[in-house]
Amino acid sequence: MTPHPPRPSTPRRRLAALAAAAAVLSLLSACVVIDSTRDGSAPPNSTAAATNRETAEQNSARLASALRSYAVVDDTSSPRLDVHLFGLPGATSLAAATEKSVLERFRSAGAFAGRQAFSPVLTAPDQRWDAERFLSPNLPTPPTGSAAAQAPGSAAASASAAVDLSNRIVAAGGRYLISTLSAADGAAQAAGPETAGTRAFVTDLETDSTVDAADLFTVAVDPAELSADETGTLRLRGRTVAKADLTDLGRDVSATLHTPLSLPADADTRDPDFSCALLPCVALTYDDGPGEPEIEEALLAAATTANVRLTYFLLGRNVKNSPEVVARMAEAGHELGNHTFSHPQLSTTSVADERSEVAATDDAIEAASGIRPGLVRPPYGALTKTAAAALAHPAIMWDVDTEDWRHRDRAKTVEAVRTGARPGSIVLMHSIHPTTVAAAAEVFAAVADKGLYAVTVSELFSDQRLESGAEFFCRSYATPLCSNPEHPAVHRD
């Protein structure tokens, strides 16, 4: 278990890999020189090739330091999953295209287990690939259509009950990134051509748009046959692509690949590249604040250090007292929700009072931060159907109660998260207690160590509709209990 949030690779391993790559490249370049000077004269473009090679190496190194690594590995279920994906902060269109394709393949292979959605699995962070494994441009194509893999009863037949996917970078330069998503699994191949084999994408990092790499070519191409040489020159079936075979976009991209890579500038590296439909997520929520400014500042600092975003459910009266703290929470990119103005039990509050409690708090948070909250957490989790309907917001409950307010114990808070949090969980804590804030760094590390991705509540449900008047206890993957008020994890007053 790693004590820190996962990184694609350690600097030392990355350096070692780059050194190895450089050694291979220098061997390759030696071959090129010997080959091209066989007639005794240097080729006119050797300087350009050397420059391109240097640019390609620099682009590769830039990517290695920016890429993030994700793994969905489950050896116990059927189909077995062995999925390795890179993400690039800011390249959301590529992540979305990749995720869509991955989930399609999961569905066709039976990984949804008869449900509407995939249930993300916990995968230990040490299962994630190092960045350089996504950067090998000329990896051998996975074998396709192996008859043995589909022969029933054979040892290879069990391999057909596996989903083995990875995405890789073919080439990158300027504003463009070319990547592939490849399946090495018999099951996906058996599911039909639309889910089999390799897909290739071209991403414009400047506009954050991703299209099929087929758009680069005037001829039909097999994406699995797409590669690039050490100078960053596109290749098809191992040969340099003829200009006539490239569309206008293709010519633009292939020329731009020889220029320095321009990575997305304003990416928020706290957002996982893939959604909670694929990744196991957890939302860490903090109620009753803002508390004492120095306590809240300590929590904000811990969240910054761990590179995570939190969700605060704030009390209107406290917001009025410390609007500057609320502004800092918003500036830091955390989600702000409504916890009523004076913390009444809404199940025994009149509808008129309930509405004014919620509206006054929305107003106070908006005045302090410029953000009008979309979510409400009812105090004590106390709601009746009437009270829930009168909220006019979705009610965000929780499935992991740390009871931090009761025991006021740092270690117990950490342990409650460590043992209770599972994919889709909403964890209840309170930012007004120093013991809770003291536990924060360990809480963040505990969820990261489990392979959970800490997200805001809105991110947790980003692909689902949060209806006003409904109660949400966790993200529902496998059980309807998450959106059912009778969830056994919740104890009402």
Interface positions with Ni ion (CB under 5 A): 287-288, 379
CB of 364 to Ni ion, least distance (A): 16
The answer to whether 17 and 9 are in contact (CB under 8 A) is yes
Query: Could you give the 3-state DSSP secondary structure of residue 455?
Result: strand
Interatomic CA distance for residues 242 and 431, integer angstroms: 62
The answer to whether 189 and 145 are in contact (CB under 8 A) is yes
Closest CA to 173 of 51, 63, 50: 63
Considering the candidates 82, 229, 271, 287, report the single residue annotated as catalytic.
Answer: 287
**Token pair recorded at residue 94:** 């590529």
> Cα–Cα distances in Å, from 236 out to 24, 46, 52, 222?
21, 22, 18, 9
**Catalytic annotation present for 271:** no
CB of 356 to Ni ion, least distance (A): 18
Q: Given the complex with Ni ion, which of 256 and 342 has the nearer CB atom?
A: 342
CB-CB neighbours of 173 under 10 Å = 25
CB of 383 to Ni ion, least distance (A): 13
Q: Given the complex with Ni ion, which of 287 and 471 has the nearer CB atom?
A: 287
**Across the strands, what pairs with 73?**
82
Q: Given the complex with Ni ion, which of 55 and 285 has the nearer CB atom?
A: 285
Interatomic CA distance for residues 225 and 72, integer angstroms: 26
Q: How far is CA 202 from the centre of its chain?
A: 19
CB of 381 to Ni ion, least distance (A): 9
**Across the strands, what pairs with 413?**
none
CB of 430 to Ni ion, least distance (A): 7
Residue whose token pair is 């159907």: 385
Q: Given the complex with Ni ion, which of 90 and 381 has the nearer CB atom?
A: 381
Q: How far is CA 116 from the centre of its chain?
A: 21
Long-range contact list for 237-240, CB < 8 A, 24+ apart? none
Q: Given the complex with Ni ion, which of 174 and 379 has the nearer CB atom?
A: 379
Q: Given the complex with Ni ion, which of 204 and 287 has the nearer CB atom?
A: 287
CB of 406 to Ni ion, least distance (A): 12
Q: Given the complex with Ni ion, which of 341 and 453 has the nearer CB atom?
A: 341
Q: Given the complex with Ni ion, which of 137 and 379 has the nearer CB atom?
A: 379
Q: Given the complex with Ni ion, which of 379 and 423 has the nearer CB atom?
A: 379
CB of 489 to Ni ion, least distance (A): 17
Tell me the one-letter amino acid at 401: D
**Token pair recorded at residue 242:** 């003829």
Please tell me the number of Cα atoms within 13 Å of 450 on its side-chain side: 26
CB of 193 to Ni ion, least distance (A): 54
Give the CA-trace dihedral at 166, 85, 459, 298, to 10 degrees. 160
Tell me the one-letter amino acid at 409: D
Interatomic CA distance for residues 70 and 87, integer angstroms: 7
CB of 343 to Ni ion, least distance (A): 6
The answer to whether 241 and 249 are in contact (CB under 8 A) is no
Considering the candidates 258, 334, 393, 430, report the single residue annotated as catalytic.
Answer: 430
The answer to whether 278 and 118 are in contact (CB under 8 A) is yes
Q: Given the complex with Ni ion, which of 271 and 288 has the nearer CB atom?
A: 288
Helix locations, 314-433, DSSP H: 316-321, 323-331, 351-369, 385-391, 404-407, 410-420
> What are φ and ψ of residue 87, in 5° steps?
-125, 150
**Catalytic annotation present for 430:** yes
CB of 133 to Ni ion, least distance (A): 46
Closest CA to 18 of 53, 61, 52: 61
DSSP assignment string, 267-333? --TTS-SS-TTTS-EEEEEEES----HHHHHHHHHHHHHHT---EEEE-HHHHHH-HHHHHHHHHTT
Catalytic residues: 287, 430
